A and B are shown apart, each in its own frame.
Chain A
C-alpha cells in the first residue's frame, strides 16, 4: 500500500522554497524556517507570494511531488507538472466512457449515491452526538432531512440518464444545506449559515467550506494524475476549459467527511472564532493568516485519522482515500470492476 505522504503548505508571504541536497528548505528573509526530506512529501502547496527555485521544481517533477500555487485566499492559480503519468490506453478509455451516455450515467450514479449518503452521515452523527441539545424543531428538521437524503440515494440507484441524476444531486444539496445552520452549536451570531456562496464566500462558514474544498480538490487532482487519469475530463461535471472536472467528481464523496464535518468541528470546538475572519468591502469573507493555519493543521490531522474502507474492507488513513478511490475508478474504467464503488462514510 502506498504510504501517506505529507503535504507541505507554505503560507508565509515572501517565503523562498529551495532544494538543499535531498531536503526542501523554506526560508524567510534569508533565515531558514523549516526543512523536510523531499521523499516524505506528496505535494507542496504555496499560498500567495511564495517563490520556489527551479532545481527544486525539477526534483519534484522527477520524484512525482505535485506543486500547486494558490492565491492567498486559496484560489487555484497554477501547478507544476512533470511528465504525464499513466498511459494512453486508460485515458482513451476515460474519454470513450465520457462520450457514452450509459457508461457516464453508471459512474454518476455511484458518485451521487456516495455523496448523498455521506451528507446524511454528517446529519446522523450530529443527531447521535448532540441530538438532545438541539432545539426540538431543529432536531426534527435534521431528522427529516436525513430521511429525505436516504430517499434521494434510493431514487439515485434506479437506472436513469445522467441529467436526472444531476437533478437528484442538486436536490440533495438543497436538503442538506437547508439544515446546515442547525449543525452549528457555538457562536451562532458569527457563524450563521443561510446558503452556499462561493464566488466569493460571503460569510465565515462559507469561507471555511470553500477553503477546505480547495484543499480537497487539490488532493483529488494529484491522486487522479497519480493513477494516470486526466483530471480535466469528468462524468458528473462536464468539460469546461480550465475546470478539473474529474477532480471535482472525485471530490463529491469527500466533501462530507473531510470538509463539512471538519468545518463544523472547528467552529463547534471554537478553534475558529470571528477573529479568524476578515470582510472585504464587497462582502467577501476571508480567513486570516491564523485562521488559515488552524484549518490547514486540522486538515492534515484529519487525513491521518484511520478508517476502515467500506469496499476494500481494510484500515487506512483518510488521506489515502483520494488515491484509493482514484485507483478504484481506474479499475472500473479498465473493467476490473463492473461499477465504480464510491467511498461511503459511516
Chain B
C-alpha cells in the first residue's frame, strides 16, 4: 500500500508537467500494427478507420473472455484482467490483457501475459507488444521485469518471452517510429504483399493492389474519354 500511495503522490505533484505527455501517449496496440504494416497502423491510428473481419472478430471475442474473469486469485498471486497501463518514457498507454501480480518477498512482481488469437509468428510484433507492456509496468510499479508470456489461441500454449536488451531496444525504436508517424498525420503509401495483405482486415480500405500501381488517374481518365 505504501508504494501505491507514494506513486499516486508522485503522480499528483508532477501533474502539471505530465499533462501534455499524457495527451500525447499513443495506443499501445499501435506498435504492433506498425510492425505488421506502417500503413495499416496509419489507417487505424491516424485515419481512425476500422473494418472488422473474421480474424479481428475472433481476437475481440478472445479478449472479451480474458476480461470477464476479473482479478482471480491463485494462491498468493492475484491475476488482474484488463489493467490500464502507460509509460511516459515510451509514450504509450493501453490495456494489458492479463497481469499476474506475484508476491516476491514483500513486493509485488508483475508478470504480463498477452493473449493472441493465432499461433506464434516469425516476426516480433507480439514480443514487442508484450515488452511494451512490461516497460509500462516497470515504470508504474518501479520494478524490473525479466520476462512475460504470450498465450496463443491456436496452440493453446503459453510461450515465455525473456525481456532482453535486444527486445527492449527494438521496442523503444518501434515506439519512437510509431509516434513520429502518428505525429506527422501522414499515411504511408501501400506496398502489396499477398501473404500479409490478404489477412488484413483493412484490405478494403487500403486497396494496396490498385493504389500501389502508381498510375496517373488523369491518364486513366483521358484513356476512357478517348475510347468513349
Q: How many B residues have CB within 8 A of the partner chain?
A: 24
Can you name the residue of chain A whose Cβ is closest to the Cβ of B217?
A339
Which among A97-105, A150-158, A191-199 touches the partner chain?
A150-158
B47 to chain A, nearest CB (A): 6
Across the interface, do A338 and B207 meet the contact criterion of CB distance under 8 Å? no
Distance of A190 Cα from B128 Cα, bound (Å): 71
Across the interface, do B220 and A336 meet the contact criterion of CB distance under 8 Å? no
- Given A2-B204, A150-B225, A154-B225, check contact A228 B189 (CB 8 Å): no
B181 to chain A, nearest CB (A): 13
The range of chain A's interface size is 20 to 34
With a CB–CB cut-off of 8 A, which chain B residues contact A297?
Answer: none
B131 to chain A, nearest CB (A): 29
Asked if B221 is an interface residue, CB under 8 A from chain A, the answer is yes
Q: Tally of A-B residue pairs with Cβ under 8 A?
A: 66
A290 to chain B, nearest CB (A): 38
Across the interface, do B225 and A117 meet the contact criterion of CB distance under 8 Å? yes
Across the interface, do A336 and B211 meet the contact criterion of CB distance under 8 Å? yes
Across the interface, do B207 and A117 meet the contact criterion of CB distance under 8 Å? no
Across the interface, do B211 and A331 meet the contact criterion of CB distance under 8 Å? yes
Among B190, B203, B205, max chain A CB count under 10 A is at: B205
Asked if B68 is an interface residue, CB under 8 A from chain A, the answer is no
- B187-210 interface bits toward A, Cβ cutoff 8 Å, 1 = contact, 0 = none: 101100000000000011101001
- A322-346 interface bits toward B, Cβ cutoff 8 Å, 1 = contact, 0 = none: 0000010001101011111110100
B197 to chain A, nearest CB (A): 13
Which of A87, A90, A312 is the one whose CB lies under 8 Å from B207?
A312
Which of A2, A86, A227, A341 is the one whose CB lies under 8 Å from B221?
A341
Which of A90, A150, A228, A313 is the one whose CB lies under 8 Å from B210?
A313
Residues of chain B whose beta carbon lies under 8 Å from any beta carbon of chain A: 46-49, 51, 185, 187, 189-190, 203-205, 207, 210-211, 216-218, 220-222, 224-225, 228
Residues of chain A whose beta carbon lies under 8 Å from any beta carbon of chain B: 1-2, 86-87, 89-90, 110, 113, 117, 120, 150, 153-154, 157, 227-228, 310-313, 327, 331-332, 334, 336-342, 344
Top 7 closest A-B pairs, CB basis? Answer: A339-B217, A1-B204, A87-B48, A341-B217, A153-B225, A89-B185, A339-B218
